[in-house]
Structure 1
Amino acid sequence: MIKFNIRGENVEVTDAIRAYVEDKVGKLDKYFNDGHEVTAYVNLKVYSDKRAKVEVTVPAKNVTLRAEDTSQDMYSSVDLVEEKLERQIRKYKTRMNRKPRNAVPTGQAFGDEFAPLDQADEVTEESSEIVRTKHVALKPMDAQEAVLQMDMLGHDFYVFTDADTNAAHVVYRRDDGRYGLIETE
């Protein structure tokens, strides 16, 4: 069963909007096993230029599903987000079903909250094929130096070893042009 946490920024979450979100995103319930409660965090934003942004995050046991869409119509954005989340679930489950049976069982990889995937629901994804492998030496540095290295290479992300903690971290360029840092534990 999917529980909903719906929040609005610059928009009042009316009963009609709440019902539409719960109806659309609630369709994903068929991909989860009975008895497992999953919470869908829905964030609705309306910008000054009347564009609406819909973000949905569904944290499961070993995977977090997330999709967002921005358009002039909030309802069409909800539709597109639901389709994106459904594709993600089918893609992940198909990938796990293709692994050898003695590898990681689907229940362990994605949590036992996911229901089995029917053969008819499988997705073929050639885009997930690894076509190139790179080997890099992780040089100890701070995050600012990693950003400089990333910019010099013209990449959108850069993996490095933090000089202080000796842990692997990732810096990346966000869609808004600023930078993000992923710290590992």
Structure 2
Amino acid sequence: MQIAVTFRHMETSDAVRNYLEEKLSRVKKYIDEPIDAQAVLSVAKKIRHSAEVTLVAKGITIKGSEHTNDMYAAIDGTVDKIERQLKRYKEKLKEHKPASGRERRVAKTVYAAESIDEGLGQPSIIRSNSFSVKPMAVEEAVMQMDLLHKEFLVFTDSTTEEISVVYRRSDGNYGLIVPEAQ
């Protein structure tokens, strides 16, 4: 976990930094991917201590902040808020039941590039897999793709029962490919 701590209107303190890092290590049990955390610890008018933390993991951004009279209490409150948000996110994924419908099987084949470029007639197959495509809503497909840390996901749209593809765009947004009705 990469943690960047910024101190505003207060002196840099290794004790506070270590306390924050120790508390943030608790969230690792909810996300197993590399996590970047930015923390801003500040004091206003010598009595208002604030802790603001932004966690960025693959596909998820979570923010939490707390303002109290004690910096350690502010850190505790902020980490507790972030932990609750992560629990809610994980529970949402666990509890979601896929829509009932037909599950399809799709085959994936990888061809050797040289066999296609040279025009040898039949391309040579390197690897072939088949997997089931579950019916699900677009939102669930995006969540599944994020949890599986994939760049795209093939799924059956539960409303139209057509095979669709959701993918991660280079600008960080998501794209959806749906078949055209004929």
Q: TM-score range by the shorter chain?
A: 0.5 to 0.7
Say if 1:61 and 1:111, in contact at 8 Å, map to a contact too. Answer: no
Say if 1:45 and 1:54, in contact at 8 Å, map to a contact too. Answer: yes
| Equivalent residue letter for 1:18 | R
Higher Cα Rg, which structure: 2
- State the TM-score, normalized to the length of structure 2: 0.55
Secondary structure of 2:75's aligned partner: helix
Residues paired across the two proteins, number = 110
Counterpart residue number, 1:183: none
Say if 1:62 and 1:111, in contact at 8 Å, map to a contact too. Answer: no
1:52 pairs with one of 49, 54, 63: 49
Distance in 2, matches of 1:22 and 1:15, equals 10
Counterpart residue number, 2:61: 64
Distance in 2, matches of 1:70 and 1:111, equals 35
Which protein, 1 or 2, shows the higher relative CO under an 8 Å CA cutoff with sep ≥ 6? 1
RMSD of Structure 2 on Structure 1 (CA): 2.0
Unaligned runs of 5+ in 1: 114-185
Query: C-alpha displacement at 1:112, in angstroms?
Result: 3.6
Say if 1:60 and 1:111, in contact at 8 Å, map to a contact too. Answer: no
Deviations, residues 2-26 of structure 1 (Å, cap 9, x unaligned): 2100001101221101100000111
Counterpart residue number, 1:108: 145
Say if 2:30 and 2:90, in contact at 8 Å, map to a contact too. Answer: no
Say if 2:53 and 2:78, in contact at 8 Å, map to a contact too. Answer: yes
Counterpart residue number, 2:3: 4
Query: C-alpha displacement at 1:63, in angstroms?
Result: 2.1
Query: C-alpha displacement at 1:109, in angstroms?
Result: 3.8
Say if 1:63 and 1:110, in contact at 8 Å, map to a contact too. Answer: no
- Structure with bigger strand share is 2
Query: C-alpha displacement at 1:111, in angstroms?
Result: 6.0
Distance in 2, matches of 1:97 and 1:58, equals 21
Unaligned runs of 5+ in 2: 99-133, 151-182
| Equivalent residue letter for 2:87 | R
Deviations, residues 19-64 of structure 1 (Å, cap 9, x unaligned): 000001111111122xx32111000010014210100000122221
Query: C-alpha displacement at 1:96, in angstroms?
Result: 1.6
Distance in 1, matches of 2:146 and 2:35, equals 16
Percent same amino acid among aligned pairs? 26
Name the CA shift for 1:111/1:53 in 2 (closer, same or farther; >3 Å).
farther
2:84 pairs with one of 57, 73, 87: 87
Counterpart residue number, 1:29: 28
Name the CA shift for 1:89/1:111 in 2 (closer, same or farther; >3 Å).
farther
